[in-house]
Amino acid sequence: MITETAKVVAVDDDLITVSASVKTGCSQCQLSSDCGTSAVAKAFTPRQQLLSLRSPLPLRVGDHVVIGIPEQRVLLASWLLYIVPLLSLVGSTVLLSQFTAWHELVVFAIGLLLSSASLWLVSRFFKRQQHSRFEPVIITQKPNKALPL
């Protein structure tokens, strides 16, 4: 389970909105202060990510929760998003070049078109599955630390 701590920013019955910090791999590196890639990552990465999800817990604005998503779902999403379009591009290009006498640019253009179509189909799959399989869940509520008087 991949977990992250988030802060509740809005509550509407059992639907809550949480704000989680976005962390990049560059922020964990010891050389991030001297690295050009780190500077680009910091410039283009949003600082906070807002997520809306259902809560089985009675939460209030300002509460901290631990949210998570299973690794298998992340791997499946990565597979579908990267491998399926790539396989459709390579497969269609190889098949068309072997079984047709078309020019290479035409074969490549059709391959790109089919790869885009497969990406669109994956997108439709994710939109249908959005509220069930690929949505993070609330694991637990973190206790609020009382301020000393």
The pLDDT averaged over each successive group of 10 residues in the chain (149 residues) is 89 88 64 64 69 86 89 87 95 95 95 96 83 76 67
pLDDT of residue 131: 56
pLDDT of residue 149: 52
pLDDT of residue 119: 95
Q: Which two tokens stand for residue 59?
A: 């939460």
pLDDT of residue 120: 95
Q: Which residue has the tokens 């249908």?
A: 128
pLDDT of residue 127: 82
pLDDT of residue 143: 81
The span from the CA of 89 to the CA of 31, in Å, is 37
Helix axes 104-129, 84-99, angle to 10 degrees: 150
- Angle at alpha carbon of residue 25, lines to 72 and 141, rounded to 5°: 60
